[in-house]
């Protein structure tokens, strides 16, 4: 059986814990436990990034570490289509919906073992006192989210440069995280970048509202173990014409997946 990075196959489902101990129920599923474990990895990776030792493997390793303690905190993952991550020989543009902090933390552990990649991120994230050093170490495409024209120019310029160097780009076309998917807010920026660079698109549908948004610190929201965590990677495809049909194809892929996963 072919391994896919940290996983034994191209699909993964969190094993059912038939004999969950009292310790698991009281400690691991506790929000305080989760927050403390998350803080440990955040400070550790920040230290690595500041010292210049946070490379792609370290990024993937820390992401998978978070993956594992999300499972310990009651999170159940269902991931499919990982074979589509590495099907293309050259770089690709990953385009998906944006629901919570969880996908930003988990996607590196799924994608980075197969190919070099980085995110399109908001400027506030690279300036964040805790996450800034880590994000800057990954050489992301930084946008302000206030001037669409300027953001377009930045994504096209740096995106083309990254893709020409073999680095894939992960983009969430929505302006902000949202538990409800709104197609009208899903712009075609990622599709346009792929077309201009002459690379394929890999759509991502995800449902990550297990990890809610915090009232004080957005990244430290409540956890809801009744909600399954879903990631689905679609088959890659090229972009032709205006890209309108391709963007709609991604929207349809996301909407169909979310309807299937409705709980």
240-254: per-residue pLDDT in tens? 988 999 999 999 999
- Element spanning 59, H or E: helix 56-72
Could you tell me what percent of the chain has a pLDDT over 90? 69
pLDDT of 218 over the 70 cut = no
pLDDT, tens digit, for every residue of 99-156? 998 999 999 999 999 999 999 999 988 888 888 899 999 999 999 878 889 999 999 9
How many Cβ atoms from other residues are within 10 Å of residue 99's Cβ? 24
- φ and ψ at 260, to 5 degrees? -65, -35
The residue assigned the tokens 């956890």 is: 223
Instruction: With a cut of 50, say whether residue 19 has pLDDT above it.
Output: no
Q: Please determine, for residue 88, whether its predicted confidence score (pLDDT) is greater than 90.
A: yes
User: Binning pLDDT at 50, 70 and 90, where does residue 29 land?
Assistant: low
User: CA torsion sign, 52 to 58 to 63 to 66?
Assistant: negative
Token pair for 147? 């001037």
- Of residues 40 and 2, more confidence is placed in 40
Instruction: Note the pLDDT tens digit of each residue in 176-212.
Output: 888 889 999 999 999 999 999 999 999 999 999 998 7
The closest of 15, 227, 197, 13 to 100, measured between CA atoms, is: 227
* pTM of this structure: 0.92
Collect contacts of 215-218 with beta carbons under 8 A, ≥24 apart. Answer: 218/101, 218/177
């Amino acid at each position: 059986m072919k391994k896919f990075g940290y996983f034994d196959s191209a699909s993964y489902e969190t094993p059912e814990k038939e004999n969950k101990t009292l310790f698991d129920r009281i400690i691991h599923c506790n929000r305080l436990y989760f927050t403390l474990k998350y803080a440990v990895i955040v400070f550790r990776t920040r230290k690595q990034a500041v010292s210049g030792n946070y490379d792609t493997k370290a990024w993937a390793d820390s992401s998978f570490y978070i993956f594992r303690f999300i499972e310990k905190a009651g999170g159940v993952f269902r991931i499919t289509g990982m074979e589509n991550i590495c099907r293309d020989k050259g770089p690709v543009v990953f385009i998906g919906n944006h629901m919570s902090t969880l996908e930003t933390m988990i996607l590196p552990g799924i994608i980075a073992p197969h190919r070099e990649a980085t995110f399109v991120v908001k400027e506030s994230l690279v300036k964040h006192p805790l996450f800034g050093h880590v994000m800057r170490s990954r050489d992301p495409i930084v946008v302000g989210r206030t001037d669409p024209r300027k953001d377009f120019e930045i994504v096209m310029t740096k995106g083309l440069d990254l893709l020409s160097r073999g680095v894939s780009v992960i983009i969430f076309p929505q302006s902000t995280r949202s538990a409800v998917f709104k197609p009208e807010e899903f712009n075609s920026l990622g599709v346009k970048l792929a077309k201009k660079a002459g690379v394929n698109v890999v759509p991502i549908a995800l449902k990550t509202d297990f990890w809610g948004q915090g009232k004080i610190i957005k990244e430290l929201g409540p956890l809801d173990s009744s909600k399954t965590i879903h990631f689905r990677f679609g088959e890659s495809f090229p972009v032709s014409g205006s890209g309108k049909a391709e963007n709609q194809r991604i929207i349809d892929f996301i909407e169909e997946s979310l309807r299937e996963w409705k709980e």
